[in-house]
Amino acid sequence: MIAEILHGIGTIRDKQEKYGQALKFYEQSLSILKNYYSSAHLDIVCFLHYIGNAYSNDGNYEKALYYQQEALTMLETYYPSYLLRITSSLNYFGNILRKQQKLDEAFDVYKRALTILEENSGSDHTGWTSTLTNIGQIYFMKEHYDESLIYYERVLKIREKNYPPDHISISYSLNNIGDLCQKRNKFDEALMYKQQALAIQTAYYPTGHSCIIATLESIGDIYKDQNNNEESLNFYQKGLEVRKLVYPLYSTKVAYSLNYVGIKLQEQNQSDRALEHYQQALAIVEKIDSSNYILIAAILGNIGNTLSSQKRFEEAFDFQQRSLSLRKTHCPSEYASIALNYNSMGDIRYQEDKYEQALEFFQKALTIKEQFNPIDYTFIALLLYNIGYALSGQGKYDDAFESFHRSLKMREIYCPLEHENIASSYCAMGSVRYTQTKYNEALEFYQQALEIEKKYYSVNYAFVSILLTMIAHCFFSQKEYDDAFEFYRQSFDMREEYCPFEEVNMADNLRFMGIIRNINDEYSEGQKFFEDAVNIYVKYCPATLRKTVAMLGDMIVSSNNNQKLEDELAYRERLLSIQEKYYEEFCVDMISNLQEIARLKFNQSNYEDFIELYLRILLMLKELTPTDHDSITHALDQLALACFKREAYDHATGYLEFAIRIGESSLSLESLQILLSHLSTVNTHRRQYESSLMYANQIFLIRERILPANDPLIADILSNIGTCYENLHQLQTALEYYYRALSIYEQHPASLHDQEMIEEAIQRVSSILNAE
């Protein structure tokens, strides 16, 4: 009687997924039975199964196998005629091996069970269904879908023969065949089987049941694979509503369902709604089952992952720490979950570019896994993969490559069916080699990844388009532009058709296609690609300002190369509008762009706009870099130039004199003499020859200090001084300066033109003096 009570309590705890508590009651009950019965009693066998299944559900597979093996041995030794019990025991044993991904061993065990059935019962007996289903599951997990379908259909025929058409067992077969159709991307067929299963289940359990919830959620998964997010979420929500009918509103089961729907919402990038579901789940479990630390820690971790996806890294890290602390304190044997926390914390730090901290967390997770669950090859390979990225972030590329390579080898040996992860490893190795400018090696790795994707995941367009782009980058970096263009085009076409929400990546493809056309001197076609790219950036990706600005920069270069100055001006003005809108981010670049726009206006002889632009530049320089006298005096000099062109000599003189006053104490002598030269020229045009002479003499004094005595530049200023004296009708003095200039020019054969000019001036002045 006591054993039955303990068994009942254990069963309740088992259904509540509190396996540790269930095990205590099962083991107490088993101890009583062993004292009461002989060691081979069937009740003892049953409890060995209960304990084995509880350990299996709790993830302790070694102990689970121990108890299931003990039960199987007892049945084969003491009850050899109990064939259905023996086959059930073999199925229990095989199920544990299957959970361990030991598929070949599990298959052999199931085959043993099938052999027993074939030798001792008719092929249409319902006792065959579990074994046949399990064999079908092995084929399914190995992606041998044709063989899997054979076994699933055999089970369906047995059930249809032995049960009425609306029997619940038939729905299980329909669900399995639907899962298989989903894996083969036959989504319409999958939905048909799932809907048939759902119809049976809802009729069989009109008030709701856990199997209905599972079917609704699996239908949601099919719609998700079809990128029909609206219908997908509709079925996830239906599953949640059924769970609320089946279980009390404030129950752990509802919390589980809310958490599940939150995960599905997060997978569809609906992070705000995901957070709402997680928070509802957390509120329920903290209120009614606050000691359910496993579930609370899981929800906290999920909240952390969602916050991380929103770039709210500090909040995300805090939730992961809370989850980790709870697990360490209350669930210290939850090694797998603790490792998950460390991995998530490493991922957060990686996204923050804190690569050393990220590496530390990834390595902690790896140490735990290797110590406590070294056969979890999938997760260990993921950690090696993440460690590779952390090392790459630190610039330790050879170490990163080695970590990626270890990840690849583990996946190829122990997880050969994880084709997408294997392809990701090849891609990561390619990225390292690409960063190291080893483009041929990188190309090989990317192409291997692409072959895997094309063979096994024909609909994984997002990843394939990335691989196509990276292959294009390799060709581009090696100046194989025709091949590069073709792969950029393939990537763009795939994204446009299958990944229309990847606007930024599509624009990136167009940008590189435009660059290649420019390199090939096909400027008009290149310009079209640039136009399309920048339109995408502006319309769909307003946050990618830097990309938009870079794109406009490419268009400017293209226009310049094509000598289409009007186009260049239009693109620069478009760029200016962005810089004005986001002034704080682009103010420094804006000055450079204003200068280039002013240059184009100057070339158009549009001096009025030129002056207006440089006045803006001057104000910005005074605001942003008030001590940068070189830039400020340059702006004043440009203003003077435009005024000179407009014959506004007074304004030109004012700007130049202001520039000299600002820069007198800080400008180099070279810069100062340029300003003085411009002042001298302006005053000459104003016929203010004495002022012009004054500035020319100042220039002469500077050049005497910084140049050799026979430098042609000294001859130039001597000639200018001579011209000033000539304009002032002081001809004898003018002649002296011309002769001094001539003596220097004669020492420089390259100054023959200047020599001829000065000789003409000497002859002209001498003629006037002789005539007088």
Query: For the segment 618-675, what is each residue's pLDDT rounded down to a tens digit?
Result: 999 999 999 998 999 999 999 999 999 999 999 999 999 999 998 777 888 888 889 9
DSSP 8-state class, residue 126: G
Three-class secondary structure assignment of 333-365:
CCHHHHHHHHHHHHHHHHHCCCHHHHHHHHHHH
Extract the tokens encoding 380: 């260990």
Position 115 pLDDT exceeds 70: yes
Tokens of 439: 């483009």
Cα 401 to Cα 357: distance, rounded to the nearest angstrom = 19
- So what's the pLDDT on residue 739? 94
pLDDT at 35: 74
Domain boundary among 616, 632, 667: 667
Burial degree of 313 (CB within 10 A; 0-12, 13-18, 19+): middle
pTM for this prediction:
0.66
The closest alpha carbon to 594, from 585, 605, 586, belongs to: 586
Residue-level length of the chain: 772
* Domain presence at residue 556: no
Kindly report the CATH number assigned to the domain that includes residue 298.
1.25.40.10
- Which structure tokens are listed for 39? 């060691």
Task: Give me the helices (H) in 58-165, please.
Answer: 61-78, 83-99, 103-120, 129-141, 145-162
**Tokens 């990834």 -> residue:** 362
> What pLDDT sits at residue 48?
79
Q: Is the confidence at residue 562, as pLDDT, over 60?
A: no
Distance between CA atoms of residues 213 and 240, nearest Å: 7
Rg (CA), the chain: 41
User: CB–CB of 318/288 below 8 Å?
Assistant: no
Other Cβ atoms within 10 Å of 123 Cβ, number: 11
pLDDT digits (tens, 9 = 90+) for 124-153: 788 899 999 999 999 999 889 999 999 999
Give the list of residues 6+ apart from residue 278 with CB closer than 8 angstroms, or none: 258, 259, 262, 299, 302, 303, 306
The tokens for 270 are 């609906």
Is 761 domain-assigned?
Answer: no
- Domain closes at, from 667, 694, 714: 667
Is it the case that residue 331 has pLDDT exceeding 90?
Answer: no
- Domain membership of residue 707 (yes or no) is no
Contacts of 771 (CB under 8 A, 6+ apart): none
397-424 tens-digit pLDDT? 999 999 999 999 999 998 888 889 999 9
pLDDT band at 207 (very low <50, low <70, confident <90, very high): confident
The packing angle between helices 629-645 and 649-663, to 10°, is 170
The range of the structural domain enclosing residue 589 comes to 582-667
For 144-186, write each residue's pLDDT tens digit.
999 999 999 999 999 999 999 999 999 999 999 999 999 888 9
Mean pLDDT value of segment 1-5: 70
Please give the pLDDT value at position 3.
64
Q: Is residue 306 part of a domain?
A: yes
Whether 15 is covered by a domain: the verdict is no
With a pLDDT cut of 70, the percent of the chain lying above it is 95
pLDDT at 65 over 80: yes
* Residue 456: per-residue pLDDT: 80
Dist CA 123 CA 340 (whole Å): 45
**Quick one: pLDDT band at residue 553, thresholds 50, 70, 90?**
low
Q: Say if residue 558's pLDDT is above 70.
A: no
Predicted pLDDT of residue 14:
67
Position 388 confidence tier, pLDDT thresholds 50, 70, 90: very high
User: Cα(247)–Cα(245) distance, rounded to whole angstroms?
Assistant: 6
Q: Is 667 helix (H, G, I), strand (E, B) or coil?
A: coil
Q: What is the mean pLDDT of the chain?
A: 89
Last residue of a domain, one of 614, 634, 667: 667
CA distances from 565 to 520, 552, 600, 601, 603 (A): 20, 14, 7, 10, 9
Question: Cα separation of 19 and 256, whole Å?
Answer: 16
User: Which residue blocks in 686-772 are alpha helix, DSSP H?
Assistant: 689-706, 712-727, 731-745, 752-771
Q: What's the pLDDT tens digit per position in 272-326?
A: 999 999 999 999 999 988 888 999 999 999 999 999 999 999 999 999 999 999 9
pLDDT at 329: 94
pLDDT class of 375 with cuts at 50, 70, 90: confident
Q: What integer pLDDT is reported at residue 18 of this predicted model?
A: 72
pLDDT at 484 over 90: yes
Question: DSSP letter string over 295-333?
Answer: HHHHHHHHHHHHHHHTT-HHHHHHHHHHHHHHHHHH-TT
Q: Which residue has the higher pLDDT, 171 or 539?
A: 171
Instruction: Give the model confidence (pLDDT) of 66-80 as tens digits.
Output: 988 888 888 888 888
Number of domains, the chain: 2
What integer pLDDT is reported at residue 424 of this predicted model?
96
197 in any annotated domain: no
pLDDT tens for each residue of 462-483: 899 999 999 999 999 999 999 9
pLDDT of the residue at 669: 87
Q: Mean pLDDT, to the nearest integer, of 484-488?
A: 97
* pLDDT higher than 80, residue 33: no
Q: Would you say residue 30 has pLDDT above 80?
A: no
pLDDT band at 17 (very low <50, low <70, confident <90, very high): low
User: Which residue stretches of 184-312 are H helix?
Assistant: 187-204, 210-225, 229-246, 252-267, 271-288, 293-309
Tell me what the mean pLDDT of segment 28-36 comes to.
74
Please enumerate in sequence order all residues whose Cβ is within 8 A of that of 425, keeping only pairs 6 or more positions apart, or say none.
381, 385, 404, 405, 407, 408, 411
| Among 466, 463, 488, residue whose Cα is nearest residue 477 | 488
Mean pLDDT of 195-206: 94
Structural domain contains residue 632: yes
Give the H or E element holding residue 533.
Answer: helix 523-540
Answer yes or no: is 275 within a domain: yes
Specify the range with the lowest mean pLDDT, choosing from 37-41, 108-112, 334-338, 718-722: 37-41
Residue 604 near residue 572, CB atoms below 8 Å: no
Instruction: Pick the more confident residue, 36 or 374.
Output: 374
List Cβ<8 Å contacts ≥24 apart for 427-432: 427/463, 427/466, 427/467, 427/470, 428/385, 428/388, 428/389, 428/404, 429/401, 429/404, 429/405, 430/470, 431/392, 431/470, 432/388, 432/392, 432/397, 432/400, 432/401, 432/404
Which two structure tokens, joined as six digits, stand for 627? Answer: 């001590």
Helix 731-745 with 752-771: angle, nearest 10 deg = 150
**Cα 453 from Cα 441, distance rounded (Å):** 19
